[in-house]
Amino acid sequence: MRNLFIDLDGTLIDARKRVYEVFRFLVPTANFSFDAYWEIKRAGISNESILTNQFGFSDLQIANFIGRWMQEIEKENWLELDEPFDNVENKLQKLKNEYKLILVTARQSTTNTLKQLKKLQLDIYFDDILITNQTLTKQVIIKQKFDITPNDLIIGDTGKDVEAGKALGIKTIAVLSGFLSASTLEKYKPDYILQSINDFKE
C-alpha cells in the first residue's frame, strides 16, 4: 500500500479562527477583521512581517511576540476553536482503503494534539501520527520512520508541506482550504493544487 502523508491544520481542520484570535489576543491594537487578516496571510505574509511593516515592531518586540505566540497557539482554550472541514471523516474512511494514512503535523505539543484528535474522533483513521514538535522538519521525521517510494504522496496547505514532499521525492498535493492562496502555493510548484482534501480522487 502506498503511503499518504496528511497535514492537520488547514488540511483536515479549519484552524483559521484560532490563528486569528491568538493574533488579536497578542496584538490588541490590531483591528483587522477575520477576512482582512486572512487576505493578508493567504498572500504568504507572516505575522512578523505584518507587525514590522504595519505596526512598526522592533526586533525585540518581534522576538517577544514569537515567544508568546508559541506559548499560546496550542493552548486548549484556543484549540477549541478548531473545526474539522465538512466530510473529512468520510473522506479519510475512503482513503484508508487505498492508502496507508499517516498524519504529519508541525505542532509543538504531542499531548494537546493527540487529545484534540481523539476529541474530534480523527485519530481512528491513521496508521501513524507524526508530530515534529517544532524540532525537526516533516521530511526528516517521515524519513526516520518510513521507507519512501516515489508513488507515495503528501497533502497539505503550506509551502512547507510541498517542500517536504519534494525533499522526499514523492508526489505533492497542495490544498486551498488552509492558510495560503493558490498564487502563493503555486510558487512552491506542487504537482497538484486542489480546493480541499475532498477533491482528492482516491
Task: List interacting residues with Mg ion (CB under 5 A).
Answer: 7, 9-10, 157
153 and 170 Cβ atoms separated by less than 8 Å:
yes
In the bound state with Mg ion, the residue whose beta carbon lies nearer, of 9 and 14, is 9
Strand partners, 6: 103, 155
Q: Which is nearer to Mg ion, 57 or 91 (CB)?
A: 91
Cβ distance to Mg ion smaller for residue 7 or 74: 7
Q: To the nearest whole angstrom, how small is the minimum distance from the Cβ of residue 28 to Mg ion?
A: 26
In 3D space, the residue among 111, 115, 119, 123 whose CA is nearest the CA of residue 6 turns out to be 123
The residue at minimum Cβ distance from Mg ion is 10
Cβ neighbours of residue 22 under 8 Å, at least 6 residues apart?
69, 72, 73, 78
Shortest distance, position 56 Cβ to Mg ion, whole Å: 29
| Closer Cβ to Mg ion, 3 or 105, answer by number | 105
Smallest separation (angstroms) from Mg ion to the CB of 103: 11
What is the amino acid identity at position 163? E
- Nearest approach in angstroms of CB 189 to Mg ion is 18
Phi then psi dihedrals of residue 33, to 5 deg: -75, 165
